[in-house]
Structure 1
Amino acid sequence: MVDNDTVSSAQKYKIYESGFDPNNATIQDENEIKNFLKNILSANVNLNVLIGSGCSLPAIPTMNVTFERLKTENSDLVNVIEKYKTSSFAKEDGNAKNIELFLSWLGNRIDGLSADELKNNEHNVRNFVIDGLIKSIVDGCLENESDSSNKITTESVYRLFLKNLAFIKQLSDDQNDTINLFTPNYDLFIETSLDSLGFAYSDGFKNSVNQTFDTTEYNRRPVDITKRFKDRWSVVKPFFRVYKLHGSLDWVRNDHNEVMKNSNLKGRESSDLTKAVIAPTSSKYADSQGSPFSDLFREFSIELTKSNSILLINGYGFGDEHINDFILQALGRSDFRLIAFVNEEEANAKKFMKLVGSSAGATFITNEKDPGNVHHFSTLAKLLSYQNPFETVTKDEK
């Protein structure tokens, strides 16, 4: 979530080492957290970041917020929800707020009933909900009016985070100088921010007229030819790899079922977009087994299991079991380190922290008292800030 106020010097942070244990939490101040992050992230480590949907607030509302809005716009949706409330799916979602459970139930219902039995336009309702979700994300990415604080503020936080992360990584003189960015988000804030900063990155697509996805592209690294007269070639720094685990708004599938890139979002049909992304249902794990998602999750697993790997998490609510499983597996390694900014009041976050148990490689950072802004993306971006005396500070970075 975005917050323009500077993190207060009086801000206190509650730290859980090795999972959730209310009796084993420590309290640290801002400077202690900044030094902790700087020391960890600038070390000779394989640096990975998991960026969740919370990082794209408020430009893109959460799915459940969008779901509540859609209920007010379609009477057929309201009627179908009444049937959903009587199902076994709704036992853990009595108020029908979980859009993933609802879409999962609706998909199963559509698959299991005949056309005559589907009396409430279930097909249209499902399409309406999915279209509404995608439209909310597209609108957040396309919003570019000068007086729109949503899109501008959200993207400025992404830029600040990526710039500060790159600076800290460059403090280390080692060979692990690539930063891996993993995200289940469909939006394009990572890519547009990297572009505006002028940072080199690979998103898995070939640099050609027909940009098709190929995981071997992640193994390529641009070279800085301005230093070609030195004894050895120098690679471009900083360098990022971007992994869109659930797909992206600028993905499409061609007639050969290959994933290609189309950055022109205007006029795109949501039906075309849904063919290239993983829909928010409980079948996400099964959907991730298809191409190219199986390749992307394999890359996620490979990076987490490399020696001396770190995973920094923000904006992720631990609601995706297939992602959680990879993290838990990595925590079985003695040389893996997890640093997660969380809201411990959220049920999924607390559940995951309990699953971690006594793992020595996990650090959860949350609020000292009531849920505050510690888990907000803007907080992390500013915690990584180390002022360069030769650099002009913009309004967004204050």
Structure 2
Amino acid sequence: MRTIEDGIEELQKLLECGVQYWLLGAGASFDAKIPLMYPLTERVNALIIEPELSDLFNKIRQELPDSSHIEHVLSHIGDLIALATRSKSKKAYVGTNEYTTEQLQALHECIISKIAEIIRYGYKPSSATDAEEIGKLGNPIVEIEFHQAFIAALFDGRSNLEARSRVMFITTNYDTLLEDALTLARRSVHDGFSAGGIGYWFGHDQAHVETLSPQTHQLIKLHGSVDWLRAGDGTLVRGRYGTRYLSNLSETIIYPQATKYVETQRDPFANLFGAFRRVLQVSQSHVLCTVGYSFGDEHVNLEVQNQLEYKGNKTNVIAFVKEVPDGKPGTATRLPDSLERWRNNSQYGSRIYVASDKALYVGTERFDPVPLSELKWWSFSGLTTFLKTGRAL
């Protein structure tokens, strides 16, 4: 009879795979003092001081499900702009009120600016034990130590394998912590831009990616970044903080963009998701590891599922994730729906590994710690410890 130790040993062998892709979600930046989506939504709301924009923002939120966050609001505004643009009146309804494309666009640009400001400088909401912390231009509070520790733990044990391995990164986060940590570790980053503090966009060309050295890591930022901006001529550049030029934060390229910017929706985002698709299609066995990602982005989930379903696909998934309440009375928890569905799939379920706070799942098997206790590897810092020591508790 197999035990959790057997499952961990199997997991560790898989983590020695030469081709690895690491998908980081919002939870990976939480300890760095960058808020999760719901606190980010409330902070954006607090920063919109213009009465008309604030009123419109709240009216839109009232139309959306209670579980919606700031990205859902942006998507909805984009849809409203599309409706207004197509209509004869050039207006769209929110509730019983009518708004022009200019009013909707003004709110969209305001929200993008506020998100960019919050993510650049950091924000930590108050809690039962800690006071609110607000980062500003002259006093940023974002910390990088957690990402540096993760990068060190990930690569320190791979020195003998690195010459023939490939480690790439995907993230849904807007912050620059991952690329900054890689650079501070003297590793090069290919993010789709030319090198330098200011870079121009040329995308994730597959022929170029295949020439990257093991010390250069592809980084696919699926939802854009706080340092991606639209220049005056409409081109996409990676800019610097604190300059007079490239300083309009409403031009920050953060997904989802307003539907008005058709070309922007095609590039970079179509290019980014195309690159994500390609990395899961490589012919050799490879592993996709997730951390800080709660599987709440159906677009990303669908991309992974579509690739898993292709005959001959060789993707192994390792999800480091916290279980969620099952909605029933008591304290029972469950895995996110996508993971539960994937691990029970007869075609590829045996290639799905889930390291949760409650147990280790290998396909349909479940291994509980003995004695029962919380496993720490689901969090970003806990995963770093596991990579460094092999200990999950």
Q: TM-score, normalised by structure 1?
A: 0.70
Match in the other structure for 2:388: 385
Contact 2:61–2:73, Cα closer than 8 Å, also in 1: no
3-state DSSP class of the match of 2:199? Answer: coil
- Mean alpha-carbon deviation: is it higher for 130-139 or for 199-208? 199-208
Picking from 229, 236, 243, the partner of 1:252 is: 229
Q: 1:81 to 1:346 in 2, by over 3 A?
A: farther
Name the aligned partner's letter for residue 101 of structure 1. Answer: H
Picking from 97, 110, 118, the partner of 1:128 is: 110
Match in the other structure for 1:293: 269
Separation of aligned partners in 2, 1:370 and 1:288: 47
Match in the other structure for 1:139: 121
Match in the other structure for 1:61: 35
Is 1:180 aligned to residue 168 of structure 2?
yes
3-state DSSP class of the match of 1:192? Answer: helix
Separation of aligned partners in 2, 1:300 and 1:82: 34
Q: Could you give the per-residue CA deviations for residues 147-200 of structure 1, whole angstroms, max 9, x where no partner exists?
A: 98x523xx111111111111233343772x121111122211011111211123
Structure 1 residues 1-398: aligned runs within 5 Å: 28=4, 33=8, 35-43=9-17, 45-58=18-31, 59-73=33-47, 74=49, 75-76=51-52, 79-80=55-56, 83-84=59-60, 87=63, 90=64, 93-94=65-66, 97-113=68-84, 114=89, 117-118=98-99, 122-140=104-122, 151-152=142-143, 155-172=144-161, 175=164, 177-207=165-195, 211-214=199-202, 215-216=204-205, 217-221=208-212, 237-254=214-231, 257-265=234-242, 268-273=247-252, 276-279=253-256, 290-306=266-282, 307-332=284-309, 333=312, 335-345=314-324, 350-356=336-342, 357-358=344-345, 359-368=349-358, 374-386=377-389
3-state DSSP class of the match of 2:266? Answer: coil
Q: Cα distance, 1:301 vs. partner?
A: 1.4
Q: 1:375 to 1:265 in 2, by over 3 A?
A: farther
Contact 1:278–1:288, Cα closer than 8 Å, also in 2: no
Q: 1:314 to 1:346 in 2, by over 3 A?
A: farther
Q: 1:375 to 1:251 in 2, by over 3 A?
A: same
3-state DSSP class of the match of 1:317? Answer: coil
Q: 1:311 to 1:288 in 2, by over 3 A?
A: farther
Q: 1:326 to 1:123 in 2, by over 3 A?
A: closer
Contact 1:38–1:168, Cα closer than 8 Å, also in 2: no
Separation of aligned partners in 2, 1:314 and 1:157: 13
Separation of aligned partners in 2, 1:247 and 1:328: 22
Aligned length: 331
Contact 2:19–2:287, Cα closer than 8 Å, also in 1: yes
Q: Cα distance, 1:370 vs. partner?
A: 9.5
3-state DSSP class of the match of 2:142? Answer: helix
Q: 1:170 to 1:133 in 2, by over 3 A?
A: same
Q: Which has the higher contact order (CA 8 A, sep 6+)?
A: 1
Separation of aligned partners in 1, 2:377 and 2:286: 24
3-state DSSP class of the match of 1:291? Answer: helix
Q: 1:264 to 1:121 in 2, by over 3 A?
A: closer
Q: Cα distance, 1:137 vs. partner?
A: 0.7
Separation of aligned partners in 2, 1:201 and 1:180: 9
Q: Could you give the per-residue CA deviations for residues 209-260 of structure 1, whole angstroms, max 9, x where no partner exists?
A: 97322334433435xxxxxxxxxxxxxx544222222222222334554322
Contact 1:138–1:249, Cα closer than 8 Å, also in 2: yes
Q: Cα distance, 1:353 vs. partner?
A: 1.9
Q: Cα distance, 1:78 vs. partner?
A: 5.5
Separation of aligned partners in 2, 1:56 and 1:125: 26
Separation of aligned partners in 2, 1:221 and 1:100: 33
Name the aligned partner's letter for residue 111 of structure 2. Answer: V
Separation of aligned partners in 1, 2:183 and 2:278: 26
Q: Could you give the per-residue CA deviations for residues 95-147 of structure 1, whole angstroms, max 9, x where no partner exists?
A: x7522333333333344354673289544443333322221111139969999
3-state DSSP class of the match of 1:382? Answer: helix
Q: TM-score, normalised by structure 2?
A: 0.71
Contact 1:51–1:183, Cα closer than 8 Å, also in 2: yes
Percent identity at matched positions? Answer: 21
Separation of aligned partners in 2, 1:156 and 1:288: 33
